[in-house]
Amino acid sequence: MATIKINGKEITVEDNTLILDAARKAGYEIPTFCYQADLMGIGSCRMCLVEIEGQRKLQPSCITPVLHGMSINTDSSTVASARAGVLEFLLANHALDCPVCDKGGECELQDMVHKYGPRTGRHAEPKFKFHEKDYVLSQVIIKNSNRCVQCMKCVRVCREVVGRNVLGALGRGDHQEPTSFNRTFLDCDMDGNCIEVCPVGCFMRLPYRYKSRPWDLKGADTICPYCATGCRMVIEERDGQLLRARAQLGVGLNSETLCARGRFGCDFVNSAERITKPLIRHQAATWAEALASVKDGFSGKEGKHIGGVAAATLTNEELYLFQKLMRTVFGSPNIDSSSRWNSDAASAFIHAASMNEGGVSIFDCMEADTVLIIGSHISDENPVSEYIVRRISSNRRMNLIIASPRAMKLDSSANVKLRHLPAAEKAVLDAITLVINAGKLSEAEKLKAIKDSKMVDLLTAAGVGVDEITDIAKRLSASQSVAIVAGTEFLRFPDGTSGLALLKDVLKNLGKKVTVMPTLDRCNQRGAWEMGVHPSFGPGYATAEKGMDTEALLEAAMRGEIDALYVVGEDIISDYPDREFARTALSKVRFLVVQDIFMSETAKLAHVILPGASFSEKEGMFTNQEGRAQSIRKLLALPGKAKRDLDIIRAVGELFDGSFGPKNAVLVLDEIRQVNPMYSDVSLLFNNKKNSDNRLDNRAALVKCAAGVLPAAGEFASKAVSSRMEEHSFALVTGSHLFHLGRFSRKSETLLGLIKGATVEICEDDAARLGFVSGEKVKVKGKNHEVLATLKTSTGSKSRVAFIPESFEDAEVNRFFRRGEGVPRVSITRANQ
């Protein structure tokens, strides 16, 4: 600890605390440009100079640590004139074109000059200009380098946080311009984090160009509606249009970062395709008529012939009320929250990932000696989680192990990257466990054990080498603490969950601290399960009467056994892995009610369509993958006659039971707190509280341990693929795209502008072998379906693996799948062959 004096005030801080942080802690504001807590300090802008007694020169407080006994002055006249001087130089070449700058009104340079600046400038020389006109740097960035203050935050965020490293500072001194290689158009992650960190109007949002002034915007502090990382963001509107989403420094686990989907994808709420009135058999109707029709459709039907599917993009309150409606009013246990994987897979995953044991912070995981990421293409699926992993892993000694069939951006931070065959998570994990267990034997015994065991089979099934597995096992064995980050592949190929559970137990038995964190691809998937939207458990994973999941409901519908189905926000036809089956089955449902914001494929078959609300038009809570319950806030008015989903679900309940409720979101949350012990402490207040000291880990928001014990799930049939295939044949895998996730992104103008049409990704070597080049059109042909897609090559992916993202309308990837057939094989040929 060091005791120092700041402006005469004595405070004690940890050794090595930066003077800047110490001063802020003591309550003194020091202006900065280049300093940002999450980035490497470069001390380049000199805005933060302070006086240290006994030292002749002023020192930059953002890179100078305190020393015991230091006496520091942050607001002497010397400091004040130094600040003014720095600003005078920053303005020497600055364009001072605030009236036409999009940053005007929220510009750090404006604010600083206003507060500390010189009132006049003495520079008489003509100003240096990098260029005359603003230039477009990517589909989302427009740039004016003449306003730059050379803080290098853009370059650093792109390198250190995003990991893309496509920005650099060209030139030197005041002629230094942060931009792309040779100022060329960028083909990057499009997350706009460079825009967000830029203190001035240098990196600017292209979609928001000249749309508004900050003071004309109205904002709401909310949560991103895409993946389950659960990034905090402020969405802002003007004249009823959502104009932008931005993150805030030091707020939420994401601080100032977002990914392309979050930052640029929320414009889907403005879409002209929103459903704005109730429809009965696709004819406009009043709410009274629509509800009467729902009443008719459900009246007199037995619970076992009724079903409900509610999307994992709804709020906890809505999901809770939905399952309550299904279970208590309709007497139906047939409820599910996903059409992509079956409910047993979900149970097994929840069990293997210990989700019932309460929330696990990603920041805690990143304190482990070894972090193993498996079953997740985290770079594309949960980009901001990936940023956190990159940032922290580069700052401490630890092992980062990534096991995935596909190469990813995070590989460059990994100590070990294992490329295994698709759907082979179980084989990989079992092989690791085997080697760890063998580690307890003598050398000779070990060899024998490995020889006798199914090791060879496992290695073949996984398509990996014994050395790679041994290396991973060694690193795990040598660690005191291990964190396993397990992704959605475990839900697609649930046989992996037993491998996960086993490895977890083995490591625990060796006395290691083991945490498992799930990564999920719907903003409230975890909430949906914890609210009990699942056919075998109720809120808080409490045992419930077993019902049918989406798959079983479709099978029953096929047999003509489903009288009424209530679908909220889920597009079963687009998401179920076997499109034709889903469509036929749903067309046999006697009464189908779909509540949604867009006319989905499923909605097209509905008898009654109820227009719901987007995340920006309602209040409630999402629980992210870590188990952080965070509230979303209403910003916009509902379009047309649309209603909030909570109100619609309650209205449906009231048709049959006038007392059905609770009657509003706050009361529903109260009931959740009582019914679900995991949520007994959650509050609408704490989770949107601003963290003053960049304290990103708001642990109070983590849900608690469930009361009941979740039973281990049974074994699942393996769906692994063999590596032996014909020349043009590939194993097809799917998942989220960096720019697209679920269905909302398909209605986002900006995101659709980033990528035109479907892509299929294979590894470079395969492309070379077949004579394909990146960017050409290819035909992907499976047993049941074929699509034309643009070929993308990746470096370092497993050979013979083709990836088509889930969310493209022109490549309905679920048509390649057939129920019960596992990973499909496809052939890839030139489009014109």
Partner 1 sequence: MLSDKAKKEIEAALKKYPNKRSAVMDALRIAQHDRGGHLERSDMEDVAAMLEMNPVEVNAAAAFYTMYNIRKPVGKYHVQVCRNISCSLLGAEHIIKYMEKSLNIKTGETTPDNRFTLSTVECLGSCGTAPMMQINDDYFENLTEQKVDEIIKKLV
Instruction: List residues near ligand SF4 by CB under 6 A.
Output: 148-154, 157-158, 162, 164, 166-167, 178, 186, 188-194, 197-200, 202-203, 224, 226-227, 229-231, 254, 258-259, 261-262, 382-384
The structure tokens listed for 400 are 């980062």
Pick what 229 binds: partner 1, ligand FES, ligand SF4, none; C-beta below 5 to 8 Å, kind-dependent.
ligand SF4
For the bound state, the minimum distance from the C-beta of residue 246 to ligand SF4, rounded and expressed in Å, comes to 11
Least distance from C-beta 776 to ligand SF4, angstroms?
Answer: 25
Is 74 an interacting residue with respect to ligand FES (CB under 6 A)? Answer: no
Polymer length of the chain: 833
The Cβ of residue 115 has, within 10 Å, a number of other Cβ atoms equal to 11
Q: How many CB atoms lie within 10 A of CB 133?
A: 6
Pairwise CA distance, residues 464 & 581, whole Å? 35
Q: Does 199 bind ligand FES (CB under 6 A)?
A: no
Beta partners for 165? none
Report the amino acid identity of residue 371: V
* Contact partner, 266, from ligand SF4, ligand FES, partner 1, none, Cβ < 5-8 Å per class: none
Q: Are strands 399-403 and 370-374 parallel, antiparallel or unpaired?
A: parallel
Q: What token pair was written down for 12?
A: 């004690």
> In DSSP terms, which residues pair with 280 in a beta bridge?
283, 608
Q: In angstroms, give the least distance from the CB of 268 to ligand SF4.
A: 13
Q: Output 194 or 760, the one with its CB closest to partner 1.
A: 194
Least separation, in Å, of the C-beta of 214 and ligand SF4?
17
Does 79 bind ligand FES (CB under 6 A)? Our answer is no
With H, G, I as helix, E, B as strand and everything else as coil, classify residue 15: coil
Q: For partner 1, which is the closer residue by CB, 187 or 670?
A: 187
Per rule CB under 8 A, is residue 168 in the interface with partner 1? yes
- The contact mask relative to ligand FES for 534-573 (x = CB under 6 A, - = no) is ----------------------------------------
Show the binding pattern over residues 36-65: x = contacts ligand FES (CB under 6 A), - = does not. -------xxxxxx-----------x-x---
The interface partner of residue 170, options being ligand FES, partner 1, ligand SF4, none and the CB cut-off 5 to 8 Å by kind, is partner 1
Alpha helices in 590-743 (DSSP H): 645-656, 665-675
Question: Does residue 526 belong to the site contacting ligand FES (CB under 6 A)?
Answer: no
CA–CA separation, 335 and 308 (whole Å): 5
What span, in angstroms and rounded, lies between the C-alpha atoms of 31 and 59?
13
How far apart (Å, rounded) are the C-alpha atoms in residues 298 and 294?
6
Which one of partner 1, ligand SF4, ligand FES, none is in contact with 172 (Cβ closer than 5 to 8 A by kind)? partner 1
**In the stretch 170-209, what mask flags binding to partner 1 with x, by CB under 8 A?**
xxx-------xxx---------------------------
Q: Is 632 exposed, middle or buried (0-12, 13-18, 19+ CB in 10 A)?
A: buried
Least distance to ligand FES, CB of residue 47, Å: 5
Compute the least distance from the CB of residue 176 to partner 1, in Å: 8
Q: Choose among ligand FES, ligand SF4, partner 1, none what residue 188 binds, the Cβ cut-off being 5 to 8 Å by kind.
A: ligand SF4
CB of 86 to ligand FES, least distance (A): 9
Q: Which does 230 bind (CB under 5 to 8 A by kind): ligand SF4, ligand FES, partner 1, none?
A: ligand SF4
Site residues for ligand FES, 616-675, by CB under 6 A, read none
Among residues 6, 141, 167, 682, the one that binds partner 1 under rule CB under 8 A: 167
CA 494 to chain centre: 22
For every residue of 476-515, DSSP letters joined together read HHT-SEEEEEE-THHHHSTHHHHHHHHHHHHHHHTT-EEE
168 binds, among ligand SF4, partner 1, ligand FES, none (CB under 5 to 8 A by kind): partner 1
Please say whether the beta carbons of 730 and 826 come within 8 A.
Answer: yes
Cα angle, residue 174 at apex, residues 168 and 177 outer, rounded to 5°: 25
Rule CB under 8 A: is residue 599 a binding residue for partner 1? no
Sign of the CA dihedral 797, 801, 807, 808? Answer: positive
Q: Which of 19, 23, 32, 405 binds ligand FES (CB under 6 A)?
A: 32
The amino acid at 749:
E
| Rounded Cα–Cα distance for residues 377 and 385 (Å) | 11
Nearest to 625 by CA among 513, 680, 706, 701: 701
Joined together, the tokens standing for residue 812 give 């309905």
Among 4, 13, 19, 34, indicate the residue that binds ligand FES (CB under 6 A). Answer: 34
In the complex with ligand SF4, which residue's Cβ is closer, 500 or 741?
741
Q: Which does 44 bind (CB under 5 to 8 A by kind): partner 1, ligand FES, ligand SF4, none?
A: ligand FES
Is there a contact between 190 and 264 (Cβ–Cβ < 8 Å)? yes
Choice between 197 and 269, CB closer to ligand SF4: 197
CB of 26 to ligand SF4, least distance (A): 28
Segment lying near ligand FES (by CB under 6 A), choices 30-38, 225-233, 700-708, 821-829: 30-38
Strand order in the sheet with 513-518: 416-418, 399-403, 370-374, 481-486, 513-518
Backbone angles phi, psi at 550, to 5 degrees: -55, -45
Triad 528, 278, 245: Cα angle to 5°: 55
Q: Note whether 191 and 440 are within 8 A (CB).
A: no
Total residues contacting ligand FES by CB under 6 A comes to 12
- β-bridge pairing 399-403 and 416-418: parallel
The CA-CA-CA angle for residues 219, 220, 226, to 5°, reads 115
3-state secondary structure of 266: helix
For partner 1, the closer of residues 165 and 722 by Cβ is: 165
| Residue 723 touching ligand FES (CB under 6 A) | no
Looking at beta carbons only, is 199 or 569 nearer to ligand FES? 199
- Restricted to residues 659-678, the positions that interact with partner 1 (CB under 8 A) are none
Nearer to partner 1, 173 or 820 (CB): 173
Contact footprint for ligand FES (CB under 6 A)? 32-35, 43-48, 60, 62
Contact footprint for partner 1 (CB under 8 A)? 165-172, 180-182
